[in-house]
């Protein structure tokens, strides 16, 4: 009997757990450890944040599903890793602390033969002074709870505008090296859409603030797309979207501090500037969870398992190199820890070898650039591949890893919502292939120009809406869920 422990029940962790239970016989034990007992479809947080959906529409309770699937579920958070066990046990284990009301604060050792660390990022709001969601005029759409509060705040601002008060909305990145620009981009477009839908645009100033060198970078170095007889960069695509909507932008900005009415930022020219606001939604920096790791003698081996940013080391090439020497070969394919091959880290939990966008530093030495994103689709694929490799290992006893999924090979589709509505909604359908540009294989554009595209229109909204229901159907394990790809 093999014990497989999955830390995290987000896209990567839940996908891995789904396939493990489907393809492993019941004699094997699967345990999922997650601080919350709900699964949330994060891409739809955007619609919760503008009142078009509620939190209930985008989440469901995992406990009945895991019970049906025969998965042990522990509502707890991981604290420390003991991959070799300790003096009392030879089996590797994770020390967890319960977060459920019944057992809150209790600690437990969870032994494993295989461990999937899919704990995602720590939303590092603390890295930006004053960036506290729910405090004053600051919102977030990073979780369904944050998004629900964001809608309440947004509604307050809409009411103020209805009473004739002008409001300034600033949306974007809240840390000099934040990622996830795509989510903020969607949110600003939806906020703008809802303002215009109510005819309040004359009372609103909507501003995008970003650490991107150019708009449309999205942490993936931008992309080239073929459209209208030209091959152009996503910079033009994003700028055109904003100009069409009269959204202003501040780029190359590293937000350092935010108070009740002002955002303080530094730009790449080394200037320290301020921006007034009445409503701010700024994506925080991401970090690892600060896990510790110990060997059998209780010596600290955190450096073996984790990179300095707290994310887990996997089969990436972490050799420091200048941007010009970066390659898709640097990116991991199996998400297997090099020191402990029975530990894997798919999704946002793995430490990328470097960013995708070129790192930039201000004249004062502050790094200001977009770090690497990992959206739902790659995270799902990584989760599935990790499960497939563990299943094969358990079934054959052969530790050879056969299934691979590098971000330098796989593509990703991202539907950028720009307004909700079955006849008046809109979204930009974006695909990139591969996610990490491969300049050796595609020397002209970095990616396959035939499958990299961006197209705005109503059809995009239908796609995003369809994906919402399709992926929740899959996550709920409804009949034939496995036929729906990640």
Partner 1 sequence: MENRLVIDKYSEQYYPPTPTNFTLFWRKFIPFQILRFIILTLKIIKIVVKGHS
Binding site for partner 1 (CB under 8 A): 236, 239-240, 242-246, 248-249, 377-378, 381, 384, 405, 409-413, 423-424, 426, 429, 431, 433, 451, 453, 455-460, 462-463, 485-486
Q: Is 422 helix (H, G, I), strand (E, B) or coil?
A: coil
User: 244 or 317: whose CB is closer to partner 1?
Assistant: 244
Rounded least distance, CB 456 to partner 1, Å: 6
User: 135 or 246: whose CB is closer to partner 1?
Assistant: 246
Which runs of consecutive H residues, i.e. helices, occur in 231-271? 234-245
User: 93 or 213: whose CB is closer to partner 1?
Assistant: 213
Angle made by CA atoms 64, 68, 72, in degrees to the nearest 5: 80
Give CA 308 to chain center in angstroms: 19
CA distance 79 to 402: 31
**Which residue carries 């496995």 as its tokens?**
482
Rounded least distance, CB 459 to partner 1, Å: 4
Do residues 438 and 408 make contact, with C-beta atoms less than 8 angstroms apart? yes
Rounded least distance, CB 467 to partner 1, Å: 9
Q: What is the DSSP letter of 291?
A: -
Q: What is the DSSP string of 2-65?
A: -EEEEE--SHHHHHHHHHHHHHS-TTSEEEEEESSSEEE-GGGHHHHTTTSS-HHHHEEEHHHH
User: 192 or 278: whose CB is closer to partner 1?
Assistant: 192
| Residues near 307 by beta carbon (within 8 Å), at least 6 away in sequence | 288, 313, 318, 351
CA distance 263 to 138: 10
Report residue 164 as tokens. 């004739």
Report residue 201 as tokens. 């645009």
The residues with which 415 forms a beta bridge, in sequence order, are 429
CA distance 261 to 25: 57
Rounded least distance, CB 57 to partner 1, Å: 22
Q: What is the DSSP string of 271-336?
A: -EEEEE-SEEEEEPEEE----EEB-TT--B-HHHHB-TTSPBP-SS------GGG--GGGS-SS-B
Rounded least distance, CB 285 to partner 1, Å: 25
CA distance 145 to 55: 7
CA nearest 17: which of 78, 66, 60, 77?
66
CB atoms within 10 A of CB 32: 27
User: 109 or 409: whose CB is closer to partner 1?
Assistant: 409
The residues with which 287 forms a beta bridge, in sequence order, are 122
Tell me whether residue 262 is exposed, middle or buried, using C-beta atoms within 10 angstroms of its C-beta: 0 to 12, 13 to 18, 19 or more: middle
Rounded least distance, CB 415 to partner 1, Å: 9
Rounded least distance, CB 378 to partner 1, Å: 8
Rounded least distance, CB 356 to partner 1, Å: 17
Which runs of consecutive H residues, i.e. helices, occur in 123-233? 144-162, 181-197
Rounded least distance, CB 411 to partner 1, Å: 4
CA distance 456 to 242: 13
User: 42 or 430: whose CB is closer to partner 1?
Assistant: 430
CA distance 286 to 123: 5
User: 341 or 457: whose CB is closer to partner 1?
Assistant: 457
Tell me whether residue 325 is exposed, middle or buried, using C-beta atoms within 10 angstroms of its C-beta: 0 to 12, 13 to 18, 19 or more: exposed
User: 10 or 425: whose CB is closer to partner 1?
Assistant: 425
User: 232 or 309: whose CB is closer to partner 1?
Assistant: 232
Rounded least distance, CB 159 to partner 1, Å: 24
Rounded least distance, CB 354 to partner 1, Å: 22
User: 100 or 240: whose CB is closer to partner 1?
Assistant: 240
User: 24 or 418: whose CB is closer to partner 1?
Assistant: 418
Rounded least distance, CB 480 to partner 1, Å: 16
User: 221 or 456: whose CB is closer to partner 1?
Assistant: 456
């Amino acid at each position: 009997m093999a014990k497989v422990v999955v830390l995290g029940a987000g896209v990567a962790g839940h996908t891995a757990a789904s396939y493990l239970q489907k393809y492993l016989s019941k004699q094997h034990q699967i345990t999922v450890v997650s601080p919350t007992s709900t699964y949330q479809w994060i891409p739809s947080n955007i619609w919760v944040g503008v009142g078009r959906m509620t939190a209930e529409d985008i989440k469901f309770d995992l406990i009945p599903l895991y019970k049906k699937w025969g998965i042990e579920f522990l509502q707890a958070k991981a604290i420390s890793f003991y991959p070799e066990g300790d003096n009392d046990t030879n089996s590797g284990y994770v020390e967890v602390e319960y977060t459920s009301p019944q057992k809150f604060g209790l600690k437990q050792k969870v032994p494993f033969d295989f461990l999937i660390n899919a704990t995602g990022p720590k939303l590092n709001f603390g890295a930006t002074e004053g960036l506290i969601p729910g405090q004053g005029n600051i919102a977030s759409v990073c979780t369904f709870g944050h998004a629900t509060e964001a809608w309440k705040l947004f509604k307050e601002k809409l009411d103020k505008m209805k009473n004739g008060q002008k409001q300034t909305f600033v949306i974007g990145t809240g840390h000099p090296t934040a990622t996830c620009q795509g989510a903020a981009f969607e949110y600003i477009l939806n906020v703008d859409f809802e303002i215009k839908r109510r005819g309040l645009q004359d009372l609103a100033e909507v501003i995008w603030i970003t650490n991107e060198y150019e708009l449309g970078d999205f942490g993936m170095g931008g992309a080239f797309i073929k459209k209208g007889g030209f091959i152009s960069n996503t910079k033009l695509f994003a700028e055109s979207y904003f100009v069409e909507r009269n959204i202003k932008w501040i780029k190359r900005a590293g937000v350092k501090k935010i108070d009740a009415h002002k955002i303080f930022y530094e730009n790449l020219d080394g200037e320290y500037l301020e921006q007034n606001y009445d409503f701010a939604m700024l994506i925080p920096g991401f970090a690892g969870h600060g896990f510790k790791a110990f060997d059998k003698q209780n010596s600290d081996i955190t450096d073996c398992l984790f990179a300095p940013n707290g994310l887990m080391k996997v089969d990436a090439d972490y050799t420091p190199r200048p941007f010009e020497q970066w390659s898709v070969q640097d990116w991991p394919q199996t998400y297997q820890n090099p020191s402990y091959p029975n530990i894997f880290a798919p999704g946002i939990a793995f430490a990328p070898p470097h960013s995708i966008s070129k790192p930039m530093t201000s004249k004062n030495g502050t790094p200001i650039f977009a770090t690497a994103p990992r959206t739902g689709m790659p995270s799902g694929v990584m989760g599935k591949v990790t499960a497939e490799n563990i299943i094969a290992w358990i079934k054959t006893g052969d530790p050879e890893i056969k299934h691979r999924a590098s971000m330098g090979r796989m593509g990703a589709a991202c539907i950028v919502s720009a307004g909700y509505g079955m006849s008046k909604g809109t979204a930009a359908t974006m695909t990139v292939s591969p996610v990490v540009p491969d300049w050796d294989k595609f020397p002209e554009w970095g990616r396959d120009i035939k499958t990299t595209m961006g197209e705005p229109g109503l059809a995009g909204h239908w796609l995003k809406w369809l994906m919402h229901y399709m992926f929740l159907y899959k996550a709920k394990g409804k009949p034939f869920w496995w036929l729906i790809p990640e």
